[in-house]
Homo-oligomer: A and B are copies of this chain.
Amino acid sequence: MQGVDPVRDVDPAWLPDEAFRPIGTRRTLIRGAGPLVDTVHGEVAGACERFGGRVERDAAPGPFDLVLELAGEDSPEAFTCERNGGCTTVTASGQRGLLYGLFHVVRLGESAFLGQRQRERHAPALDLRMLDHWDNVAVHPVMGQVERGYAGGSLFWEDGRARGELLGRVRAYGRLLAACGINAVTVNNVNVHKTEAHLLTDRIDEVADISRELGRYGIRTHLSVTFAAPMVLGGLPTADPLDEAVQAWWSEATSRVYEAIPGFGGYVVKADSEGQPGPFAYGRSHADGANLLAGALTPYNGTVHWRAFVYDHRQDWRDRTTDRARAAYDHFVPLDGQFAPNVILQVKHGPMDFQVREPVSPLIGAMPRTRLAVETQATQEYTGQQRHVCWLGPMWSEVLRFRPEEGAPVGELARGGLVAVSNVGDDPFWTGHPLAQANLYTFGRLAWQPDANPYRLLDEWIRLTFTPRRSEESARLEAGVYAVLAHSWRTYEKYTAPLGVGWMVQPDHHYGPSVDGYEYSPWGTYHFADRDGIGVDRSVATGTGYAGQYAKPWAEVYESPTTCPDELLLFFHHVSYDHVLRSGKTVIQHMYDTHFEGVEEVEAAQRVWQGLSDLVDPARHARVAERFEEQLRSAREWRDQINSYFFRKSGVADAHGRRIY
């Protein structure tokens, strides 16, 4: 694909040349005009060049196997697809819709050109499908360049500037994102450090360079900004949202942003959170703060993503009445109805912070007059840091299909969209662990269709990504990769923190086990294990009252240890080690069993992967094999530390007499 992916040594991910063979061997007509139509044409032309097909524009003489046309009236990202009389037709009223339609045909593969196909309309359920890059321009001495990044340096920033010659790689990234339905990217860390603050003003041209490349695939660019920008950049004495000079400064700054980037998406803000500045300093509410930026963006139809991740990160661990899980709800529910229409409140899907298992945040569904976006993490901060296989599709799907009360599921309530923290860096495989690409792909597809079956999306990703040399090998290859990934999240859950309690990780970097690592900390992250039992009592009757933040039926379900789902038991209740789960096992035996099972499952997955060595590209196979070594080492460490810790504390022997230290 000359001109599209100038960085040839990069993994093709889910867009290998081979995926374009069905189109590239056929005759295609493209009708319509505009930059994204040109992109569509470029994709088809490139495929035809490789595979001998033909592409025409507008009123060329037929016949054609495929027609891609701008026509009719529909929402800008929707398209229809049908096949009649030997011709497959994709119709969209907007250019983006046409682009998505093209990639739909790519996904269909040969089947797009077989038989008849009823007219189907496809449109994203959510308008905003976004990746947040926690990338810094400057390299942080401890965190590295990408905060919580496990795939090398930043894809956007290199040597302190926006990437120059490598902008082609940014374009290739945009192409991958478009092919799974993502339409927005935030190009810098929500923790806005000194250097990065300047992107908003004197370094906006660099953002524009990135934006231009992403725009070729219909991706909008957003920017994380510091709430203190009027002081830090503007030299004002205050950042008070009700101060007129502050408002004027934001308006002026925003107008210059749109001069540089006409299609700019808007701002992302982490305010009054983990040390970032915010409106609290001026006695103002978060609605005041968010509306300040919303006001500046309104003339341009820009949005503010205002993060709801506000809690006391200097909590006293001795104080069992304060509950970090309550914080987002307590802070934001009283503000429902006060936010401007172009404010999107960005809520983490769980009440804590991307643990392997959390309940769905009670904030979702509790603010009917506010546009909520649900934030997830494609980057595997707490789920193995892309050294472990951990495909998160089922977890996200559970969240999106959760119904806070009778009625709409989270996937519908997230009217502000779905956001993931990106797991991509400048690594040749994009995501460090090649199989972590599945998370990125699945995220995009779920953002398009939140009620999709994630396992079908996994199949889709595998079929696109893994193309065997001989087609008769595809069944073994696909089954193998599926076996490695499909249950990997539950496997990871098994060998790490048990039953929803979370947080048994090493402080700061969050990799590897440390049962007490966050127990006596100021972060609000406790398990309260003693010699008799473990868990956090978040009931209304005897605990922090967090369970009461849910609507019925969940408030009741979570309130009692007899109705609380096993997998969340220790999140909601403090129980004794001999408490019997719904599964019939005691809590302690469940811990032992799952930890032994988890490691065995990793061993089994590793064997499956080893068996695919003849079918997978050697570099990709080797990279995954190397990561499996580390995953297995680490999983054993988790197993032994967790089992030893709780054996030493409880004194209860394993029913099966296995080795505990």
**Whole-angstrom CA separation of A513 from B517 in the bound complex:** 11
Q: Closest residue of chain B to A652, judged by CB?
A: B531
Q: Closest residue of chain B to A641, judged by CB?
A: B520
Interface contact A648-B520, CB-CB below 8 Å: no
Set of chain B residues within 8 Å of A648, measured between Cβ atoms: 529-531, 649
Shortest beta-carbon distance from A506 to chain B in Å: 8
Q: Per-position contact with B for A502-516: 1 when CB-CB < 8 Å, else 0?
A: 000011000001111
Counting CB contacts under 8 A, is A276 at the interface? no
Shortest beta-carbon distance from A255 to chain B in Å: 39
Q: Closest residue of chain B to A139, judged by CB?
A: B141
Counting CB contacts under 8 A, is A658 at the interface? no
What DSSP secondary structure best describes chain A's contact surface?
loop
**Whole-angstrom CA separation of A506 from B640 in the bound complex:** 21
Interface contact A661-B513, CB-CB below 8 Å: no
Counting CB contacts under 8 A, is A368 at the interface? no
Interface residues of A in 521-580 (CB under 8 A from B): 529-532
Interface contact B649-A530, CB-CB below 8 Å: yes
Which of A142, A318, A513 is the most central at the interface, judged by chain B CB atoms within 10 Å of its CB?
A: A318
Q: Closest residue of chain B to A520, judged by CB?
A: B641
Q: Per-position contact with B for A607-649: 1 when CB-CB < 8 Å, else 0?
A: 0000000000000000000000000000001001100110111
Interface contact A651-B513, CB-CB below 8 Å: no
Counting CB contacts under 8 A, is A650 at the interface? yes
Interface contact B516-A661, CB-CB below 8 Å: no
Set of chain B residues within 8 Å of A532, measured between Cβ atoms: 651
Shortest beta-carbon distance from A505 to chain B in Å: 13
**Whole-angstrom CA separation of A165 from B349 in the bound complex:** 57
Q: What count of chain A residues pass the 8 Å CB interface test?
A: 27
Set of chain B residues within 8 Å of A142, measured between Cβ atoms: 141-142
Given A141-B141, A142-B142, A520 and B513 contact (CB-CB distance below 8 Å): yes
Shortest beta-carbon distance from A83 to chain B in Å: 59
Given A515-B516, A520-B513, A531-B651, A661 and B141 contact (CB-CB distance below 8 Å): no
**Whole-angstrom CA separation of A506 from B651 in the bound complex:** 26
Set of chain B residues within 8 Å of A641, measured between Cβ atoms: 520
Set of chain B residues within 8 Å of A649, measured between Cβ atoms: 530-531, 648-649
Shortest beta-carbon distance from A31 to chain B in Å: 56
Set of chain B residues within 8 Å of A520, measured between Cβ atoms: 513-514, 637, 640-641, 644-645
**Whole-angstrom CA separation of A514 from B645 in the bound complex:** 14
Given A515-B516, A520-B513, A531 and B650 contact (CB-CB distance below 8 Å): yes
Shortest beta-carbon distance from A322 to chain B in Å: 13
Q: Closest residue of chain B to A516, judged by CB?
A: B516
Interface contact A640-B318, CB-CB below 8 Å: yes
**Whole-angstrom CA separation of A517 from B519 in the bound complex:** 11
Set of chain B residues within 8 Å of A517, measured between Cβ atoms: 514
Shortest beta-carbon distance from A576 to chain B in Å: 13
Shortest beta-carbon distance from A10 to chain B in Å: 29
Contact of A516 among B318, B514, B640, B647 (CB under 8 A): B514
**Whole-angstrom CA separation of A620 from B637 in the bound complex:** 48
Interface contact A651-B516, CB-CB below 8 Å: no
**Whole-angstrom CA separation of A515 from B514 in the bound complex:** 11
**Whole-angstrom CA separation of A515 from B515 in the bound complex:** 11
Q: Per-position contact with B for A467-493: 1 when CB-CB < 8 Å, else 0?
A: 000000000000000000000000000
Set of chain B residues within 8 Å of A647, measured between Cβ atoms: 530
**Whole-angstrom CA separation of A594 from B523 in the bound complex:** 28
Shortest beta-carbon distance from A637 to chain B in Å: 8
Interface contact B661-A318, CB-CB below 8 Å: yes
**Whole-angstrom CA separation of A513 from B521 in the bound complex:** 10
Closest CB pairs A-B (n = 9) = A141-B141, A530-B648, A318-B661, A520-B641, A531-B531, A516-B516, A531-B651, A531-B649, A649-B649
- For this complex, 14 residue pairs linking A to B, each with C-beta atoms less than 8 Å apart, are A141-B141, A141-B142, A317-B661, A318-B640, A514-B517, A514-B520, A516-B645, A520-B637, A520-B644, A529-B648, A530-B647, A531-B649, A648-B649, A649-B649
B-binding residues in A (CB < 8 A): 141-142, 317-318, 506-507, 513-517, 520, 529-532, 637, 640-641, 644-645, 647-651, 661
Beyond A530-B649, A531-B648, 18 additional pairs, beta carbon < 8 A:
A141-B142, A142-B142, A317-B661, A318-B644, A318-B661, A506-B507, A507-B507, A513-B520, A514-B516, A515-B516, A516-B516, A520-B645, A530-B648, A531-B531, A531-B649, A531-B651, A532-B651, A648-B649
